[in-house]
Copies of this chain bind each other. A is one copy, B any other.
Amino acid sequence: MARIVMKFGGTSMAGTERIRNVAARVKREVEAGNEVAVVVSAMAGETDRLVGYCREASPLADPAEYDVVVAAGEQITSGLLAITLQALGVPARSWLGWQLPIRTSSAHGVARIEDIDTGAILASMASGAVAVVPGFQGLTGDNRVTTLGRGGSDTSAVALAAALKADRCDIYTDVDGVYTTDPRIVPRARKLMKITYEEMLELASVGAKVLQTRSVELAMKEKVVVQVLSSFSDAPGTLVVDEDDEMERELIAGVVADRNEAKVTLTFTVPRAQLPASLDVLEKAKDAIGFAALLADDDVAKISVVGVGMKSHAGVAATMFRALASRGINIQAITTSEIKVSVLIPQDYVELAVRVLHTAYGLDAPVETAPEAGAA
C-alpha cells in the first residue's frame, strides 16, 4: 500500500467526460489498495475566462478580489470530481483551501504555501475516502482567499505530497513524460524514464513547460518523488528524483529552445516581452552609465543543453560549439551553469540547432527497421 497524491491539469479536467476518465484512474489506484488524495486544476480555459472578467472590471484589479474570482475554477472541478468518484462507488469529498486550511503568505496572486493542515485529509484517507483538493488556492492568516500564480496547482500537489509524506506525487498532464527535446521539432526525441530535480529545474527555467518551476524547487527541497505522466494514455511517465549513482546516466538529459528572449547589446538578454521597458530604462540611464549607443535584437533564440552528466564530463560545451559551427550557425552569446550550457543564435536556425544538438549528444531514438514493402 502506498500513499499517493495525484494531480490533474486543466486539459484532463476539461468537461464531465474527461473528469469521468480522471475518476476512473483514481479508482484504479484506490482499488490497488493505495491511499489517495487528488489535486485538481480548473477546466482548461476557465481560469483565462475568470482572469478576463477581472481585467475587464479593472486593469488594476485588487489582487485580493482577483483571487476570490479566479479561485472559483478549482472549487468547481473539486466538487465535480467528488461527485463523479461517488458515482463510480468511490467514497470521496472535496476539501477547499479554506476548509483544510492551506495557509499561504498574503501575496495575493503569487502567494506561497506556508503550511497545510493535513488532519482532515489523514482522517478522510483513514476512513477509506478520497480527498479532493482544489489546486492553486489557499488562505491568508486573516482568512482571505489567495492563489499561487499560473501553474500553481503543480505546487499545491507537491506541497500536499510533502505534508502528507506521500510515497509519490503523480502529475497527470497532456504529455506523457519529459522528453529529450520537443518531439514536434525532433521526431526521434525520447521520453526519459528518470530525470534529476536539478535537470528538471534547469529545463523549466529555460522554457520547458512540463512543470511549474516552483513545484520542482519544492519537490527538490522536500525530496518528493514526482512522476509526470499522461491522463490520456497508460504509458509509464518520467520520474523526477534525486541524483542517484546507480541511475543509468545520460551525459545530457535534454535540449531546449526558448524563442521568448531578446538580446540587448551591452550584452545581456531579457524576456522578449520586457524589451521595450528595458530599452526605456537604459535610455534614461544613458548619461549615468555613459554608453554611446544601444543595440537591440529580438531575432534571437536561446538553445540550452541540460544534464547532470556535465558535472563529471568535460567537453560538453566544445561538442555544442563544434556541432553548431558545422552547420554554419553563429553563436552570439554563451551562458552556463553547473549543469547547463545556453547559447544565443539567430532565430531562423532554432529547429536546425535543436536537431543537430540532439544528434550530437546521442539522444536520438534508434530508427525502427521497417519491414520492406517489396523489392525496389
Determine the residue in chain B with the shortest Cβ distance to A63: B83
A156 close to B (CB within 8 Å): no
Partner of A80, one of B16, B69, B144: B69
- Tell me the bound Cα distance from A57 to B96 in angstroms: 19
A238 close to B (CB within 8 Å): no
* Complex contact A57–B78 (CB within 8 A): no
Specify which chain B residues have a CB less than 8 angstroms from the CB of A69 in the assembled complex.
Answer: 75-76, 79-80, 83
* Complex contact B65–A53 (CB within 8 A): no
**Chain multiplicity (copies):** 2
* Complex contact A57–B83 (CB within 8 A): yes
Determine the residue in chain B with the shortest Cβ distance to A58: B87
- Tell me the bound Cα distance from A79 to B75 in angstroms: 15
* Complex contact A57–B93 (CB within 8 A): no
A185 close to B (CB within 8 Å): no
A48 close to B (CB within 8 Å): no
- Tell me the bound Cα distance from A143 to B58 in angstroms: 32
Q: A16-B57, A56-B16, A98-B98 are in contact. Are A68 and B72 (CB under 8 A)?
A: no
A19 close to B (CB within 8 Å): yes
- Tell me the bound Cα distance from A96 to B73 in angstroms: 16
- Tell me the bound Cα distance from A99 to B68 in angstroms: 12
Specify which chain B residues have a CB less than 8 angstroms from the CB of A270 in the assembled complex.
Answer: none
Q: A72-B72, A75-B72 are in contact. Are A66 and B53 (CB under 8 A)?
A: no
A94 close to B (CB within 8 Å): yes
* Complex contact A57–B80 (CB within 8 A): yes
Which chain A residues numbered 42 to 91 have a C-beta less than 8 Å away from chain B? 50, 53-54, 56-58, 60-62, 64-69, 71-73, 75-76, 78-80, 82-84, 86-87
* Complex contact B53–A68 (CB within 8 A): no
Specify which chain B residues have a CB less than 8 angstroms from the CB of A83 in the assembled complex.
Answer: 54, 57-58, 61-62, 65-66, 69
Determine the residue in chain B with the shortest Cβ distance to A120: B143
* Complex contact A68–B87 (CB within 8 A): no
- Tell me the bound Cα distance from A346 to B16 in angstroms: 44
Partner of A94, one of B20, B60, B65, B143: B65
* Complex contact A80–B53 (CB within 8 A): yes
Specify which chain B residues have a CB less than 8 angstroms from the CB of A60 in the assembled complex.
Answer: 87
- Tell me the bound Cα distance from A20 to B58 in angstroms: 10
Q: Interface readout for A1-22 with B: 1 if CB under 8 Å, 0 if not?
A: 0000000000000001001100
Partner of A79, one of B20, B68, B78, B87: B68
Specify which chain B residues have a CB less than 8 angstroms from the CB of A99 in the assembled complex.
Answer: 143-144
Partner of A84, one of B58, B75, B96: B58
- Tell me the bound Cα distance from A64 to B132 in angstroms: 13
* Complex contact B76–A50 (CB within 8 A): yes
Q: Which 5 A-B pairs have the closest CB atoms?
A: A68-B79, A69-B79, A58-B87, A16-B56, A72-B72
Q: List 18 A-B contacts (CB under 8 A).
A: A16-B53, A54-B79, A54-B83, A57-B83, A60-B87, A61-B83, A61-B87, A62-B82, A65-B79, A65-B80, A65-B83, A65-B94, A66-B79, A67-B79, A68-B82, A68-B94, A72-B73, A99-B143
Other A-B pairs beyond A65-B86, A96-B145, 8, CB < 8 Å: A54-B79, A57-B84, A62-B83, A68-B75, A68-B96, A69-B76, A69-B80, A98-B98
